[in-house]
Amino acid sequence: MNRHTLVATIPQAFVKLDPRHLFRSPVIFVVWVGSLCTTVLSVLHPSTFAISITVWLWITVLFANYAEAVAEGRGKAQAATLRKARKETVARRLLPDGSTETVAGSGLRIGDRVIVEAGEVIPGDGDVVDGVATVDESAITGESAPVIRESGGDRCAVTGGTTVLSDRIVVQVATKPGETFLDRMISLVEGASRQKTPNEIALNILLVVLTLIFLVTVMAIQPLAAYSGREQSIIVLVALLVCLIPTTIGALLSAIGIAGMDRLVQHNVLAMSGRSVEAAGDVSTLLLDKTGTITLGNRHATEIVTVGRATNTELAHAAYLASLADGTPEGRSIVDLTRTHLSDQDAVSAERLTAEGAQFIDFSAATRMSGVDLPSGVQIRKGATTSVSQWVLEGGARVPAALQQVVDHIGQSGGTPLVVARRDGDGPTVVLGVVHLKDVVKQGMRKRFRELRAMGIRTVMITGDNPLTAAAIAKEAGVDDFLAEATPEDKMALIKKEQEGGRLVAMMGDGTNDAPALAQADVGVAMNTGTSAAKEAGNMVDLDSDPTKLIEVVAIGKQLLITRGALTTFSIANDVAKYFAIIPAMFLAVFPGLNSINVMRLHSPQSAMLSAVIFNALIIVALIPLALKGVRYRPVGAGAMLRRNLLIYGLGGVIAPFVGIKLIDLFISHLPGLG
Ligand SMILES: Nc1ncnc2c1ncn2[C@@H]1O[C@H](COP(=O)(O)OP(=O)(O)OP(=O)(O)O)[C@@H](O)[C@H]1O
Ligand SMILES: [K+]
Ligand SMILES: [Mg+2]
């Protein structure tokens, strides 16, 4: 953050003096109440000491507010940029009769279909129901490379505010105006919807308890002091209380949380809940979908291989007919490939077949098959080897041994084999051959999965595909384990099983059939390229659609937990040290025995008090950068990390006040009126 923004943020610290806001951080609220008390007292009985203490107590509250304001600053700036993308658009809404009408983007309803062409801004979130287009999503992802969005598959979701670069698509609107992805993203980066996480709440309770204990302690001092004939002024007691309660962590706690979320946004990950970020810090297993998550996901047909006596044309024709109405990218690519093998006469349209009474069977993840029933009584199916083999057996026929060789060969290369079979009415069922679907593993997976392993995270790929293909892709990508032929229920069950021992599980996926698993996982990261259902179900969205992004997510989660722990340690160690600085100074005159612990030899009781209060305020500002940047995380064991941090922040926290308060005391002891 540059100097200009740092200065521009200062007024925010004053705005946050509102008690309704301060009440959210109890420790700082106590300081605020204390400041009010001392303000009244120093008006009634002004003295250099009273006024100085009062001023520094207010500064303490302002520093705490400032820490939070600075943490929010980056998000606010980003929200402003995003708002520009949310400019008012006009939409061309499709009417039932096929004509279009022009409406304002804000007037669209869920279920409306709109046409978007090259150069136009997509007016709302939704799914592509027709067509393929390249889309510029830089408005939300900051990434200028165009992405492909198409109907039918797992890459159908589009985001309002992004721009179509080429071609024409029909989008079915899936969210209400005002509740779009962009709206949610804005309120997220702005921190408007930020909720305290379970860990934060627990820590806050600890801080409240500590504050209460110190409140009682300080109140108990008075009778003791009165008894020994040295009653302390209210100002001294307030100052003592503020020095003893954990103001440092109280002031920085919310900034640490905001900064963690913000770091994720910097990595193009949108976390819908802070709880998921914390969970990410403790994840032990990562489950990943194959197609579209580990691979690029634009599976397309590259070759057809006949089996038995079937001819190339026969296979091509059957595969063509079975895919005519298949809206998935796989289906469309089969139509494109097989069309080249057919005569114009054989290349009928889906409309004509439907008019003649053909019944198309859509693909589903449960059946793993699709196809067509022709009016002539001929049935054609294509799909996973197991599914189509089953269908062939049900037709009373045998699955030829040659088939296995073909599908194994394709599977071993990492391709997906789709078996094509035909049943001629009451006649025999025959396996015609196999379509080879090719997909490419995303770049750099292997090295990144190795990094995850070093972090102690096991990676498991779960796919609906056959075991051979799964094994080949698993090997190429370098995941630890895989589960093949998994149904959406299997994916869910695997997560539940992993979670049983209290382990936290992350899941990354893109498809509608991943949605239940994404919802069940502790950290559910949806690929931005995925379907609306997947993005809705997860608690994070990765705008870069990079499955190894979990490395950053985990590191940020761990860093958040470590930073919070380190600053809490530091804060409490600090307060203990301050105790030794102040108490002897307060009571030295009455109990000369205290001299033995009066290691600091401060100028006077008043200068000791004031120095402690000033140190207490300055340490907040000094630690803002660390709170925002986070304590460095390295993938070493948790024990080693803890020891190291206890040493640095525990010991540092004890020593720092002695040095700091002594220096401040040397400096202010020259001020008149603090004798
Ligand atoms: N359009 C289609 N028609 C017929 N069968 C298909 C079609 N698309 C896929 N299949 C078959 O169904 C299987 C499972 O589908 P899919 O690959 O979408 O499952 P998944 O659980 O999403 O797994 P992943 O996305 O990890 O590969 C595929 O391996 C393939 O054999
Ligand atoms: K304190
Ligand atoms: Mg999938």
The DSSP string of 258-299 is HHHHHHHHHTTEEES-HHHHHHHTTEEEEEEEIIIIIB----
Among protein residues, the one whose CA lies closest to atom 21 of ligand 1: 464
Among protein residues, the one whose CA lies closest to atom 6 of ligand 1: 383
Residue carrying structure tokens 């937990």: 561
Distance 291 CA to ligand 3 centre (A): 5
| Phi then psi dihedrals of residue 116, to 5 deg | -130, 130
Distance 96 CA to ligand 3 centre (A): 32
Q: So what's the pLDDT on residue 217?
A: 87
Distance 288 CA to ligand 3 centre (A): 10
Mutational test site, ligand 1, from 368, 439, 460, 476, max ligand atoms within 8 Å of CB: 368
Residues of CATH 2.70.150.10 domain(s) within the chain?
90-123+125-174
Fold of 296-440: Calcium-transporting ATPase, cytoplasmic domain N (3.40.1110)
Distance 360 CA to ligand 2 centre (A): 72
Q: Is 470 in the pocket of ligand 1 (CB under 6 A)?
A: no
Report CA-CA distances (Å) from 142 to 20, 60, 191, 371: 36, 38, 20, 41
The pTM of this model reads 0.82
240-279: burial string, b at 16+ Cβ within 10 Å, e else = bbbbbbbbbbbbbbbbbbbbbbbbbbebbbbbbbbbbbbb
Among 57-71, 241-255, 576-590, the minimum mean pLDDT is found in: 576-590
Q: Is 416 in the pocket of ligand 1 (CB under 6 A)?
A: yes
Q: Which ligand is nearest to the CA of 434?
A: 1
Distance 244 CA to ligand 2 centre (A): 5
Q: So what's the pLDDT on residue 27?
A: 94
Distance 450 CA to ligand 3 centre (A): 23
**139 with 89: CB under 8 angstroms?**
no
Dist. CA 544–CA 552, nearest whole Å: 12
Mutational test site, ligand 1, from 150, 299, 420, 465, max ligand atoms within 8 Å of CB: 465
Q: So what's the pLDDT on residue 671?
A: 74
589 pLDDT above the threshold of 70: no
Q: Give residue-wise pLDDT tens across range 606-662.
A: 888 899 999 999 999 999 999 999 988 776 666 777 788 888 899 999 999 989 998
Dist. CA 204–CA 198, nearest whole Å: 10
Mutational test site, ligand 1, from 154, 155, 156, 291, max ligand atoms within 8 Å of CB: 291
Q: Is 418 in the pocket of ligand 1 (CB under 6 A)?
A: yes
Q: Is 511 in the pocket of ligand 1 (CB under 6 A)?
A: yes
Q: Is 384 in the pocket of ligand 1 (CB under 6 A)?
A: yes
Residues of CATH 3.40.1110.10 domain(s) within the chain?
296-440
Q: Is 331 in the pocket of ligand 1 (CB under 6 A)?
A: yes
ipTM confidence:
0.94
Q: Which atom of ligand 1 is nearest to the CA of 488?
A: 21
Q: Which ligand is nearest to the CA of 249?
A: 2
675 pLDDT above the threshold of 60: no
Q: Is 113 in the pocket of ligand 1 (CB under 6 A)?
A: no
Q: Which atom of ligand 1 is nearest to the CA of 289?
A: 26
Distance 495 CA to ligand 3 centre (A): 16
* 289 included as an active-site residue: yes
Output the six-digit token pair for 56.
Answer: 């520094």
Among 61-65, 165-169, 623-627, 636-640, the minimum mean pLDDT is found in: 636-640
**75 with 191: CB under 8 angstroms?**
yes
- What CATH number belongs to 90-123+125-174? 2.70.150.10
**Burial class for 126, CB neighbours closer than 10 Å (0-12, 13-18, 19+):** buried
Among protein residues, the one whose CA lies closest to atom 31 of ligand 1: 384
CB atoms closer than 10 angstroms to residue 165 = 14
Classify residue 513 by its DSSP letter: G
Output the six-digit token pair for 51.
Answer: 């006024």
Q: Which atom of ligand 1 is nearest to the CA of 290?
A: 26
CATH architecture classification, 269-294+442-543: 3-Layer(aba) Sandwich (3.40)
Q: So what's the pLDDT on residue 436?
A: 97
Residue carrying structure tokens 């009584």: 377
Chain mean pLDDT for the chain: 89
Q: Which ligand is nearest to the CA of 299?
A: 1
15-30: burial string, b at 16+ Cβ within 10 Å, e else = ebeeeeebeebbbbbb
Q: Is 291 in the pocket of ligand 1 (CB under 6 A)?
A: yes
Q: Which ligand is nearest to the CA of 486?
A: 1
Q: Is 382 in the pocket of ligand 1 (CB under 6 A)?
A: yes
Distance 350 CA to ligand 1 centre (A): 22
Q: So what's the pLDDT on residue 595?
A: 63
Output the six-digit token pair for 563.
Answer: 């930073």
Q: Which atom of ligand 1 is nearest to the CA of 465?
A: 29
Active-site entry in 125, 289, 439, 542: 289
Distance 299 CA to ligand 1 centre (A): 10
Q: So what's the pLDDT on residue 1?
A: 66
Residues of CATH 3.40.50.1000 domain(s) within the chain?
269-294+442-543
Task: Quote the crossing angle between the two packed helices 26-44 and 234-244, to the nearest 10°.
Answer: 160
Mutational test site, ligand 1, from 361, 362, 363, max ligand atoms within 8 Å of CB: 363
Q: Which residues are annotated as a binding site for Mg(2+)?
A: 510, 514
Q: Is 463 in the pocket of ligand 1 (CB under 6 A)?
A: yes
Q: Give residue-wise pLDDT tens across range 311-355.
A: 999 999 999 999 999 988 899 999 999 999 999 988 888 889 999
Q: So what's the pLDDT on residue 131?
A: 92
Closest CA to 149 of 329, 294, 289: 329
Q: Give residue-wise pLDDT tens across range 104-123.
A: 888 899 999 999 999 999 99
Q: So what's the pLDDT on residue 81?
A: 80
Among protein residues, the one whose CA lies closest to atom 28 of ligand 1: 465
Q: Give residue-wise pLDDT tens across range 208-267.
A: 999 999 999 888 888 877 777 777 788 989 999 999 999 999 999 999 988 988 899 889
Q: Which atom of ligand 1 is nearest to the CA of 511?
A: 22
Rg (CA), the chain: 33
C-alpha dihedral over 262, 267, 272, 274, to 10 degrees? Answer: -50
Among protein residues, the one whose CA lies closest to atom 8 of ligand 1: 330
Q: Which residues are annotated as a binding site?
A: 326, 330, 363-370, 382, 510, 514
Greater model confidence, 431 or 667: 431
